[in-house]
Amino acid sequence: MEYTYEFFKASADYVKSIVPYTPEVALILGSCLGPFADTIEDPIVIDYRDIPNFLTTTVESHAGKLIFGTVAGKKVVCMSGRFHSYEGYDFEQLVIPVRLFKLLGVRATILTNAAGAINTSYRPGDIMIVSDHIKLTGASPLRGKNIDKFGPRFFDATYIYTPALRKLAWDCVEGTGLTVHEGVYFFFTGPQFETPAEIRAARLLGGDAAGMSTVTEALTAAHCGMPVLGLSVMTNMAAGVLDRKLTSEEVDETAKTISERFSDYVTKIIGRIGEVEL
Ligand code: HPA
């Protein structure tokens, strides 16, 4: 498959033919923020399957719909259901959602995810504003022929997680009832949870939370100059922090407990995003 500018434009042209406005903010929802999608007012829902050159999800808990509408008075587009490399996609395919957002003209993208806490001062249910990431495994989603219309071949990765959006996220914490940290997201390909030794290594290298998503999307955003905010929900202590097995039920359970407060937090951030110069 050759990924040309026209390949991505076909997705955007289809979506533009249905949605009569430009969303200001795009969101990609992790498994912890599914319910947020239900709060979107005046929704216009597009099935991933109907979008030319888009991908379809294989994870049951991920819905597979692009939802346009209004949140806190702002026009948004929200991906309910994201794509992970562990589903079998090529890394190159994982650029598709953020490039769609770029071509739609969105101003900023919020990436949310569930993650395991590597930092032992974090607790399940805490939030981490992503300050940076470490990705030592898997390929770059930007490998292959570069499309100059999106960005340069060699691009800066110093400020992937936009400082002004991180500050806004801090400014919105008060009154949410959430415990918030700022730290480094350590990417693992999954689908297996990490081994305790991998988590110890990640901690030594500077990781605060372990997860299987977000980084490919953030890299795509950095390539095309899209401002990004990353928010991780600590659904569990990472492998080996506690002397017991890790289960996806535990992850889902914490996600469920926190989802309403987290959803309110994200709504608050969206409502104030106009204050930030990007
Ligand atoms: N590791 C990787 N991904 C995750 C975890 C974890 O512990 N918890 C939720 N997503």
Please give the average per-residue pLDDT across 5-17, as a whole number: 96
Q: What is the pLDDT of residues 147-179, one digit of tens each?
A: 999 999 999 999 999 999 999 999 999 999 999
User: What is the percentage of the chain residues whose pLDDT exceeds 90?
Assistant: 83
**Which residue's CA is the nearest one to ligand 1's atom 2?**
211
Residue 108 has pLDDT above 90, yes or no: yes
Please give the average per-residue pLDDT across 230-250, as a whole number: 93
How far does residue 23's CA lie from ligand 1's centre (Å)?
A: 30
210 lines ligand 1 (CB under 6 A): yes
235 lines ligand 1 (CB under 6 A): yes
Closest CA to 142 of 99, 112, 177, 183: 99
112 lines ligand 1 (CB under 6 A): no
The pLDDT, as a whole number, for residue 7 is: 95
Per-chain mean pLDDT for the chain: 94
Q: What is the pLDDT of residues 32-41, one digit of tens each?
A: 677 888 899 9
238 lines ligand 1 (CB under 6 A): yes
211 lines ligand 1 (CB under 6 A): yes
The pLDDT, as a whole number, for residue 30 is: 87
How far does residue 16's CA lie from ligand 1's centre (Å)?
A: 35
Q: What is the pLDDT of residues 28-87, one digit of tens each?
A: 998 767 788 889 999 999 999 899 999 876 655 556 889 999 999 999 999 988 899 999
Of the pLDDT bands very low, low, confident and very high (cuts 50, 70, 90), residue 9 is very high
Strand-pair category, 65-71 with 209-211: unpaired
Cα separation, 107 vs 274, in Å, equals 10
For every residue of 137-156, DSSP letters joined together read: SS--TT-SS--TTT--SS--
Residue 2 has pLDDT above 90, yes or no: no
CB 211 within 8 A of CB 114: yes
276 lines ligand 1 (CB under 6 A): no
